[in-house]
């Protein structure tokens, strides 16, 4: 582990590579701690710029931007993983980057991620690496059943995925898939989808948050129910596996580990996110320490904060299809009238169907009461 950077050291500045909503919430957490931030947007639309102290609005492969970024920051982190590995390595050489380029580059590519899980004995779905139609034909024959073909790179929220029943023609499928490399995974008949946020500090101390029970709509996270409605044994096992993942990566920062919970109570790791995660947004209102403050603590070298859950909570994603018009938000009065709901908007000016525009955290005495109120709000905004 690298030496920590004292939070109140002169000119301590945290650089954030990426300018989306996760970067925005990291910057907001930094302001609370009195930490300055530099956001490197990559030249993309960047909700984080409104909350940052400084902004570099240039592509990630721009050498001038790289020099500028490294010259301004004390230590750096990322808010999404799809950043060129060579850029990450150059940043790490000059400022220190947490999590490490190795960890990020493993998680940004499904082939590397699956191989990492296999090599470290972490439970995962059956998979095969595909680079041509012959590979796909052989894998489909071995699988002998339904599966999901996924691009090796740049897949998220259901993008770059194709469900296969197992009877399709491999030549036709591969010709239409339009990817140089892919992974075929077995289709898992799961009981629930879960996730665990795990944080590992500069000193190797590791903490986990309560598992979230996740439901999806259009392949995008819809609601996270916390604590997940699972047995104590499943809760302990999910936390233990998440710790194993973080330790095997020699991780520093916050990490999201997504699971399939099968009917027999066993867990399989589905994906790993080397950053704050959508299913951890409930921590902003329902935990002692939010996932965003936890990220900063780990990156800067502070002791990690408590992950204690203060209240059962449901996180509801607010997608663009809830907006009546592209620039007209829903009527938020029902949310404020609830009394135990909090609104978090991301500052995006134009709503599109499945674009993440914000989220709401609904607290309650029980998960069931919070879920009932979250579903009522969603139905009202969708006109159901």
In which residue are the tokens 């060129």 written? 84
Q: How far apart are the first and last CA of the chain?
A: 52
On the question of a cis peptide bond just before residue 227, with omega within 30 degrees of 0, the verdict is yes
Tell whether 256 is in a known binding site.
no
Burial (0-12, 13-18, 19+ Cβ within 10 Å), 131: middle
CB 51 within 8 A of CB 31: yes
* Pairing relationship of beta strands 127-130 and 161-164 according to DSSP bridges: unpaired
21 belongs to an annotated ligand binding site: no
| Degrees to nearest 5, angle at CA 61 with 56 and 65 | 30
Decide if 91 contacts 69 (C-beta within 8 A): yes
In sequence order, the 6+-apart residues with CB closer than 8 A to the CB of 271 are 113, 258
Annotated binding residue 226: no
Between strands 54-56 and 36-40, the pairing is parallel
Please tell me whether 270 is known to bind a ligand.
yes
109 is in an annotated binding site: no
Structure tokens at 204: 């190797």
160 has binding-site annotation: yes
The answer to whether the annotation marks 271 as part of a ligand binding site is: yes
- 8 marked as binding residue: no
Q: Does 233 count as an annotated binding residue?
A: no
How many angstroms separate the CA atoms of 41 and 148, rounded? Answer: 32
379 is in an annotated binding site: no
8 A C-beta contact, residue 362 and residue 313: yes
**Residue 90 known to bind ligand:** no
3-state per-residue secondary structure call for 57-88: CCCCCCHHHHHHHHHHCCEEEECCCCCCHHHH
Distances (CA, A) of 206 to 187, 201, 347: 32, 6, 33
Q: Is 188 marked within a binding site?
A: yes
Cis, bond preceding 99 (omega within 30 deg of 0):
yes
E strands, 218-338, in order: 220-226, 253-262, 267-273, 313-319
- Is residue 187 a known part of a binding site? yes
| E strand segments, 88-233 | 127-130, 147-151, 161-164, 182-186, 190-200, 206-208, 212-217, 220-226
Binding site, residues? 110, 150, 155-161, 185-188, 193, 216, 270-271
Binding site for ATP, residues? 110, 150, 155-161, 185-188, 193, 216, 270-271
């Amino acid at each position: 582990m690298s030496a920590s950077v004292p939070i109140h050291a002169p000119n301590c500045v945290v650089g954030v590579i990426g300018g989306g909503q996760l970067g925005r919430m990291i910057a907001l957490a930094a302001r609370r701690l009195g930490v300055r931030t530099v956001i490197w947007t990559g030249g993309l639309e960047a909700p984080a710029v409104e909350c940052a102290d400084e902004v570099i609005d240039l592509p990630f492969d721009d050498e001038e931007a790289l020099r500028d970024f490294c010259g301004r920051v004390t230590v750096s982190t990322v808010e999404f993983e799809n950043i060129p590995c060579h850029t990450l390595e150059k940043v790490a050489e000059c400022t220190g980057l947490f999590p490490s380029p190795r960890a990020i580059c493993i998680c940004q590519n499904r082939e590397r991620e699956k191989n990492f899980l296999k090599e470290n004995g972490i439970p995962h779905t059956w998979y095969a690496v595909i680079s041509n139609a012959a590979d796909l034909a052989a894998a489909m024959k071995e699988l002998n059943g339904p599966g999901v073909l996924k691009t090796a790179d740049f897949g998220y929220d259901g993008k770059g995925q194709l469900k296969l029943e197992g009877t399709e023609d491999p030549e036709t499928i591969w010709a239409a898939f339009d990817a140089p490399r892919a992974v075929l995974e077995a289709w898992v008949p799961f009981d629930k989808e879960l996730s665990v946020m795990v944080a590992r500090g500069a000193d190797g101390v590791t903490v986990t948050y309560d598992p979230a029970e996740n439901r999806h709509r259009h392949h995008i996270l819809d609601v996270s129910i916390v604590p997940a409605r699972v047995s104590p044994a499943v809760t302990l096992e999910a936390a233990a596996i998440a710790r194993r993942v973080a330790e095997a990566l020699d991780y520093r920062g916050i990490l999201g580990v997504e699971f399939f919970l099968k009917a027999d109570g066993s867990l399989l790791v589905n994906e790993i996110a080397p950053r704050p995660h959508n299913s951890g947004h409930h921590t902003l209102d329902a935990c002692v320490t939010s996932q965003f403050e936890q990220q900063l603590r780990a990156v800067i070298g502070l002791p990690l904060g408590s992950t204690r859950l203060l209240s059962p909570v449901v996180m509801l994603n607010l997608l663009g299809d809830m907006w009546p018009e592209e620039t007209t938000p829903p009527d938020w009065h029902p949310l404020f009238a609830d009394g135990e709901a909090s609104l978090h908007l991301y500052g995006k000016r134009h709503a599109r169907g499945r674009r993440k525009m914000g989220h709401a955290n609904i607290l309650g005495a029980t998960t069931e009461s919070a879920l009932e109120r979250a579903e009522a709000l969603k139905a009202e905004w969708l006109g159901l």
